[in-house]
Amino acid sequence: MTDDARSMRERMHAGDLYLADDPEIREESHVALRLARELNETDPTDREARTAILRRLLGAFGEGSEIRSPFHCDYGYRTTVGARTFANFGLVCLDVARVTIGDDVQIAPNVQLLTATHPLEAGPRRDKWESAAPITIGDNVWLGGGVIVCPGVTIGENTVVGAGSVVTKDLPADVIAVGNPARVVRPLPE
């Protein structure tokens, strides 16, 4: 599809089309899969061991944060988690692009943070080209159960996203948003 001289990894990191089955990219994914498996098999009450694994897996993992198992990610190092953040069971983080999770974030069960996307055209999609756009979750955000955050979305600080919502566009700070697609229903009370 392209005659670009950059490596597939460089293309992926730039948010451009790349092939995920490139050997270098595949090995990075395998490292993350092994660490996620280790995390998911670790005693859920052994917070010290779990934190050590998360610090090896993720780009950053803040003090006092917790991610309950099962947790799944593509690369791990593309995700950063701030301080005092809590993610309940079943977080899926397709971190092809950067995923930035702020401080004091609450993530309910079965939330999906999905940076990956694919071409709309059948040919490039069949040829396995894909790309990604970053996700940013601001400080003190609460994502309800089953929320899906789509590629390229930023959620402003203090915002609450209701259970089952699909966030397809940026949400401002200090609002409550619900639905599919998620829409702001009102500002947060003072």
Catalytic annotation, residues: 118
According to the 3-state scheme, what is the secondary structure of the chain?
Answer: CCCCCCCHHHHHHHCCCEECCCHHHHHHHHHHHHHHHHHHHCCCCCHHHHHHHHHHHCCEECCCCEECCCEEECCCCCEEECCCCEECCCEEEECCCCEEECCCCEECCCCEEECEECCCCHHHHHCCEEEECCEEECCCCEECCCCEECCCCEECCCCEECCCCEECCCECCCEEEECCCCEEEEECCC
